[in-house]
Every structure is written in C-alpha cells, then in structure tokens.
Amino acid sequence: MPMALDGITVLDLSRLAPGPYCSMLLADFGADVLLVEAAPGVSGKLGAGHADAEAARRAAAHNALGRGKRSIALNLKHEEGRAVFHELAKGADVVLEGFRPGVVKRLGVDYETVAAINPRVVYCSLSGFGQTGPYRDLVGHDINYIAIGGALGVIGRPGTPPAIPVNLLADFAGGGLMAAFAICTALLARERTGRGQEVDVAMSDGVLSLMTSAMTGFFAGGPPLRPGEGFLTGARPWYDTYRCADGRWFSIGSIEPHFYGALCRALGTEEFLERQHDAEAWPAMRARFEAAFATRTADEWMEELSRHDICAAPVLEQENIAADPHNRARGMVVEVDTPIGPVRQVGIAPKLGETPGSVRGGAPLTGEHTDEVLASIGCDAERIAALRASGAAYQHPATEA
C-alpha cells in the first residue's frame, strides 16, 4: 500500500527529542529518514557506539523516536565527513537540524551551503528560541520555552507554583509536531515553485501558537488568564478532576447545559441544576461533587457516567494507558519487530484512509548503515575503509559481519 511520503528523503542532523520526534512522524508516513549521527567521541558525549552490542540493541529497540530510520555516523568536523554529507545532500528533499543557531554554519552544513548544492532542499532548523531575536543564543529546555511561550503561566492552581507538565508542549507539540507540519507545508510549496526553502521553527513560537485561543480573550480586552481561575483551568466545579474511592482521579468536562444537567442527576446533586453559572454556589457544589466521587472507584464512575451522555473519563496513570480498550482499539499501542524481539510502542495518531502510516521497524544502532549508505553514493570498499580509518565515518561494531 502506498504511503503519503513515499520518495521523500530526509537527512536528520538533530539529536534531542523535538527533532527525532519530527522525523519519526515523517518516517511513519513513508519518508526515508537517514540519521546523520556523530561518530562516537566527536562531541565528547557518550554515544550508543560505546555501549556493548547487547545493550546497544536493547536501547535501539526501545527507542521509539528512532523507529523506521537508518543511521550513518559522520564526523562533520572532518573535511571528508563534510564531503560525504554534501554528497548525500544532493539527493535529499529535507535536511533537519536541531543545533544552537550558528553551529551548522561553523560545520559547513548550513542552509546556504546545502541550498547551493541542492536548490530544491527544504532545510528546517529547529531550536528553542529561533534563528533571530534577542533570545536567539540563549540555552534552554522545555520548561523555559513554555515559560516564554506563555503556557507555564496559566497551568496550575491559585496560589501555588506553576504546575510543570511533562515536556509535551514545547519539545513535542510546539517543536517536533510544528516542524513536521512546516516541512510538509514547504514540500507542498515546492510542488508549485520548484524551489526548496529555509524553515525556522522555534519551540517558544510553537508554544505561543498553541496559546492562540487562550490569548484571544486577553487581546480583546479581557483579564489575563491566571492558573486555576479560567473557564478551562479548573475554576468551575463542572470542569475539573476529582479523587475517587480507590485514590485515582476522574475528569469531568460538563460545559454545555445538557451535559451539566446529566452530571447533576447522575451524581444526585439536583439542587444545583439551575446554578451552573452561579459562582457563589461553586464552593458548595465542589464539596458535593468531591463527596460523590469519593463513593466509587474511577472505573465504576466511568461505567456509570458513560451511560448518561456525560463528558467524563478517568485520569489514566501511565501503567493504565496501554491497557485502555479505546487506545488499543484505535491502534495507539503497537508491537514493533526488533532484533531483540517485539516491543510495545505508541502507535500512529492520524488515520489516513488511502495512504496510512506504518511503524516499519525499530531504531538503528549509531552508524548501522554507514557502509551501506557510503556504497550507495559510489564509495568503493577501499574508500569506505579509508573514511573509517581517518575517523570521518563510523560503522557500529555490532553490525559487522
């Protein structure tokens, strides 16, 4: 069956989560993603190439972000290593990099250099604060990008420190997902113009983009959104979470009047039927909701409330996510064949009817395909041996025949 990104070749220079997630999304829909990884020792950091063979295979098998990709390991500080990258760039559709601004220029693999070799290339730079602006050269992590992007300032409860979410908003949504969207958009534009282009994705920009709806009221003259005080941040008892008899939490989102009425009847709190938007009633309403939810387990409440057309769901702990029947029925938990046997991974979210995505295997070892890729661009055995001997290229020893 054809895949949406069949025939698209991606050279992925990125290292940390946002870039690999971006290229994982592209690989899941058919792109040929070639990881251009650092030969062990080049960056001064311990790489997969230093691990023993069995440990390396285990790490790769469970690395969902690397699934369906190939790997070549090059020393881009070495003239011959750069030359190999430039040769690969001639046939690439996409180059993805996630270094601090200026690094690719120093390495000689920047957009201007690559575009001179291949004018059709879509070159995506994914960074924390982008390639321009006063924060351009600042270091950071997800927590810093969601702070500048505005999300961290609206998450939490009144009078408490900001609640720090797992690194979903900047690294994965504002970063990796936004980059994948931008790359696909630029590829579509290339179909019209015949030219590639430079794409600048900042995670802080991506987070602020996710805040578009939340910022609308403020831009219209409304009060600034504060943690736990907004319509969708827990101020209303009927859009909140409650602890159940088994200690687990349960979510309700009964915004619309008919959903709210069904909730009150199911909880036996009919005295509040006409007081949904009466702020003075909310403290007493919350207390009654808390008492009601404390009488049953989370699973019991799910069984009960799902029968009454109520916006409700248990807050799934990580150990319960993969067992949830809906997640399984939607193919969101898959088994992937790897050299160490099948492993579980998260599945593919978008369901395309004609060109569906597919998890096509586990992650490669660092430099697993170096010799194969070098041969594909015309290097003979003598040349490959010379590149490896000089330190310009590296093949993981676990892949040696």
- Averaged confidence pLDDT in the chain: 95
Comparing CA positions, the residue from 131, 155, 146 lying closest to residue 208 is: 146
Which residue in 141, 200, 299, 324 is the catalytic one? 141
66: CB partners within 8 A, 6+ apart: 20, 24, 35, 60, 362, 363, 364
State pLDDT tens for residues 267-296.
Answer: 999 999 999 999 999 999 999 999 999 999
Identify whether 142 is a catalytic site residue: no
> Helix, strand, or coil here: 246?
coil
The residue with greater pLDDT, 43 or 111, is: 111
Please give the Cα distance from 264 to 243 (Å, whole number): 17
Query: Residue 228: left (phi > 0), alpha (psi -120 to 50), or beta?
Result: left
What one-letter code names the amino acid at 320?
N
| DSSP-assigned states of every residue in 125-166 | EEESS-SSSTTTT----HHHHHHHHTSGGGSS-TTSPPP---
State pLDDT tens for residues 19-69.
Answer: 999 999 999 999 999 999 998 876 544 344 445 788 889 999 999 999 999
Share of the chain above pLDDT 90, in %: 94
Q: What's the CATH code, domain 9-210+329-399?
A: 3.40.50.10540
Burial of residue 351 (number of CB atoms within 10 Å: 0-12, 13-18, 19+): exposed
Q: What is the pLDDT, as a whole number, of residue 49?
A: 47
Band of the pLDDT at 231, cuts 50, 70, 90?
A: confident
Structure tokens at 12: 């992925």
Structure tokens at 182: 């931008």
Please give the Cα distance from 294 to 251 (Å, whole number): 13
24: CB partners within 8 A, 6+ apart: 33, 64, 65, 66, 67, 68, 69, 176
**Which strands sit side by side in the sheet containing 249-253, from one edge to the other?**
239-243, 249-253, 312-314
Q: What is the pTM of this model?
A: 0.94
The pLDDT of residue 154 is above 80: yes
Q: What is the pLDDT, as a whole number, of residue 265?
A: 97
Cβ–Cβ under 8 Å, residues 127 and 99 = yes
User: Among 34-48, 78-92, 302-316, 371-385, which is the least confidently predicted range?
Assistant: 34-48
The pLDDT of residue 399 is above 90: no
Average pLDDT over residues 148-176: 96
CATH architecture assigned to 239-243+249-314: 2-Layer Sandwich (3.30)
Structure tokens at 147: 């702070």
Phi, psi of 33 (to 5 degrees): -100, 120
Q: Where are the domains of the chain?
A: 9-210+329-399, 239-243+249-314
State pLDDT tens for residues 178-191.
Answer: 999 999 999 999 99
Identify whether 246 is a catalytic site residue: no
Which residue in 12, 171, 205, 371 is the catalytic one? 171
| DSSP-assigned states of every residue in 188-222 | HHHHHHS--EEEEEEHHHHHHHHTHHHHHHHHTT-
> Helix, strand, or coil here: 144?
helix
User: HSE-up of 368 (CA within 13 Å, CB side)?
Assistant: 19
Q: What is the pLDDT, as a whole number, of residue 1?
A: 83
CA torsion 231-237-241-242 (nearest 10°) is: 170
State pLDDT tens for residues 362-389.
Answer: 999 999 999 999 999 999 999 999 999 9
Cβ–Cβ under 8 Å, residues 25 and 347 = no
Q: What is the pLDDT, as a whole number, of residue 230?
A: 87
> Helix, strand, or coil here: 130?
coil
> Helix, strand, or coil here: 178?
helix
Average pLDDT over residues 2-12: 97
Cβ–Cβ under 8 Å, residues 367 and 396 = yes
DSSP state of 156: S
Structure tokens at 98: 């996630």
